[in-house]
Structure 1
């Protein structure tokens, strides 16, 4: 059987890099894309193809997808992993930054999906894996724009799943908990930059420090765990629609579902 072809965004680090490696080991032809190509040199050494791509640049996305299709003839698996967390008080975060959060976490993802779908429909096969978060099913203070983007991704994915199912295409949501990557440290930096002055300054300092402490915790889930879950999801005949996995994910969502919003608000405020 001809090898399946995968496209993984955000492949320069964390979950994206681990997923590109895991799919390569599983026998896929893997194309890893990211803004910082130099950080993917180690993937090239493993036989993974790497390309420069910024998911907010439609022209580049179109060019690179066309290049992959011209070379491989198809794209069977799309892992939409590129994203980041914009933290800060709603009052402090600029609308320009809020738009950027959605451009990266939603609109870029959606446009890339549009570019890949025709090939999947033509071959009557496809696996679209959208990396959401437990933050698409619960919330934290000062993360309004990040959570909004992930809640949006959940609704987007659930609706699209029904649309594309007749063409043999699955849409799969991966909802990681706290993962041992740079995500939390970057979010903490964004938090301090947005809210280090004014009415929320004290909270910003304390909660950014807590976020950094959390993401330096040795108990966090390794990105390889998420990567292996993704490989499983794209290789089984009938994947689950949602995979809630990683440190804190299942307990946090279960607590919110069982005890309701007010108790969850109290708990998450204490934790952060």
Structure 2
């Protein structure tokens, strides 16, 4: 295909990253799918993708992956910074070690990999960087301070980067998923501060746990993300932001129209 791209995708072992990698391979692109678990990406390799182990918190892993892509392809046309997870719990209770890890993966990992790829994109005078934020980069929920902080950081980071690299022909796009049926909620459950159930914030914490267990929010299919990523890659002049998936436009719109205090009340009521 004449518009075949060399694409590097992080967080490709599950969820929207994996499905999108599959569809990008089917579309004829050269896809390098990376994640901490290579075994979970064997199907991508069978489809013709390139799989590599990469922990976004490891400078050594990032160096190795970028060097191999350049050695084999000579360029990186698209970087999709998609790896991430959600840390939830009261600010007062969460350890700074857990907080640091949240930022290492969701923010500093994006920065590390972006910094390694930019020199090659500048040299070729073109490139596309897609950073996965979230509707959580525009709104907020109780007990999600550090997750939302990481996604608000990605919003600001991406906006500034977009202006810095414009003269080099590099585009920066922010992907803002709403609720998507992926392993994200399982990750939140795994990293949740259950030790807070009997602490000072027990009313809010137990309300949140009850809401997770009894009222799981149905999300959009990951195909919504895959279609959007393909749209961004194929666009000559993509938008700066793509807010897609269940609840995203509604919740962001409610906050924008009715203000923070109304949104606060609505969020707190959902935890009762």
TM-score range with shorter-chain normalisation?
Answer: over 0.9
Q: Aligned pair in 2 of structure 1 residues 60, 108: CA closer, same or farther (>3 Å)? A: same
Q: Normalized against structure 1, the TM-score is what? A: 0.95
Q: What is residue 177 of structure 2 aligned with on the other side?
A: 176
The 2-side partners of 1:202 and 1:171 are apart by: 41
Q: What is residue 22 of structure 1 aligned with on the other side?
A: 23
Does residue 1:252 correspond to 2:265, yes or no? no
For structure 1, the 5+ residue unaligned runs are: none
The 2-side partners of 1:190 and 1:12 are apart by: 18
Q: What is residue 124 of structure 1 aligned with on the other side?
A: 125
Q: What are the within-5 Å matches in structure 2 for residues 18-167 of structure 1?
A: 18-167=19-168
> Contact between 1:185 and 1:211, CA under 8 Å: does it hold in 2?
no
Q: Aligned pair in 2 of structure 1 residues 209, 188: CA closer, same or farther (>3 Å)? A: farther
Deviation of 1:208 after TM superposition, in Å, equals 2.3
For structure 2, the 5+ residue unaligned runs are: none
Q: Aligned pair in 2 of structure 1 residues 260, 118: CA closer, same or farther (>3 Å)? A: same
* Equivalenced residues, count: 270
> Contact between 2:94 and 2:193, CA under 8 Å: does it hold in 1?
no
The 2-side partners of 1:119 and 1:214 are apart by: 46
Q: What is residue 187 of structure 1 aligned with on the other side?
A: 188
Partner secondary structure for residue 198 of structure 2 = coil
The 2-side partners of 1:59 and 1:33 are apart by: 14
Deviation of 1:212 after TM superposition, in Å, equals 4.3
Q: Aligned pair in 2 of structure 1 residues 245, 154: CA closer, same or farther (>3 Å)? A: same
Q: Normalized against structure 2, the TM-score is what? A: 0.95
Deviation of 1:184 after TM superposition, in Å, equals 1.3
For 1:202-259, what per-residue CA distance to the aligned partner results, in whole angstroms no more than 9, with x for missing partners?
A: 42232123134554x5x41111211110110111000000001101000000000000
Greater than 3 Å deviation, 4+ residue runs: 212-215
Deviation of 1:2 after TM superposition, in Å, equals 6.7
Partner secondary structure for residue 87 of structure 2 = coil
Partner secondary structure for residue 196 of structure 1 = helix
The 1-side partners of 2:77 and 2:225 are apart by: 19
Two-structure CA RMSD over aligned residues (Å) = 1.4
Deviation of 1:200 after TM superposition, in Å, equals 1.8
> Contact between 1:89 and 1:194, CA under 8 Å: does it hold in 2?
no
> Contact between 2:52 and 2:65, CA under 8 Å: does it hold in 1?
yes
Of the structure 1 ranges 199-208 and 146-155, higher mean CA displacement relative to structure 2 is found in: 199-208
